[in-house]
Amino acid sequence: MALQLGHPSTSAMLSNHSTLRLTNSCVSVTILCLLTACAAEDTGQSSRRDMLTTTQDEFWAALQELCGRAFPGQLIEASPPDEILAGQVLIMHVRECEDDSVRIPFHVGNDRSRTWVISRTEEGLHLKHEHNHEDGSEEEITQYGGDALTSGSRSRQDFPADSHTTSLVSTAANNIWGIEIRSGRTFVYSLRNGTTNRRVRLEFNLAEPIEELPPPPWGA
């Protein structure tokens, strides 16, 4: 039977065929747009990861250069005044260095309860504070800290408080810890909280390492 364009069923078939082609085209365009958007997002995320990795790797390398040595420190700022740190002999000891973790006991006089732990994760750099009793058991407030959320720089990284910190001490929710390494000069540990106005700044002299290393921290 010859195909008659004027036949109602034929016109419907052609109309349906055109609609189907149009629908397929729209679907194809939509898929292409989604793929392009995803690719752009992946590229953006990859670029951010690359930036974080490059900058934080440089900071990590500067930190690794301190491994095995101990340095004297002093309290530069404490607001409100910190009676625990004031007037004490302060020593940081970059005691244990692994590929993805650096442990830095911080001695305050004869108190060896504190250890700063800086580690590398898939998300970037992480800082936590370990606090142990003299018998090696953990204190109630311990393992607090946070992740470096920006690329920072080769010489400085900031670590805003994480959710674990907030669960331990609610007023520490806006804590930001800073670690600064001025190669051959100073190592700076700082804390600031814009809500409570608390500020602490410790500086350690990298130019004069201590010849006799301190004893291990409690719990080591």
Can you give the residue ranges of every domain in the chain?
10-220
Residue bearing tokens 């990284």: 157
Place 48 in a pLDDT band, splitting at 50, 70 and 90.
Answer: very low
Q: Give the pTM.
A: 0.77
Question: Which pLDDT score, from 0 to 100, does residue 52 have?
Answer: 52
Q: Is the peptide bond before 81 cis (omega within 30 degrees of 0)?
A: no
| Tokens found for residue 116 | 């700063």
Residue 45 predicted with pLDDT over 60? no
Kindly report, residue by residue over 77-109, the tens digit of the pLDDT. 999 999 999 999 999 999 999 999 999 999 999
* Mean pLDDT of the chain, nearest integer: 83
SS3 66: coil
Place 174 in a pLDDT band, splitting at 50, 70 and 90.
Answer: very high
Lowest mean pLDDT among 18-22, 166-170, 187-191: 18-22
Say how far apart CA 183 and CA 197 lie, in whole Å.
29
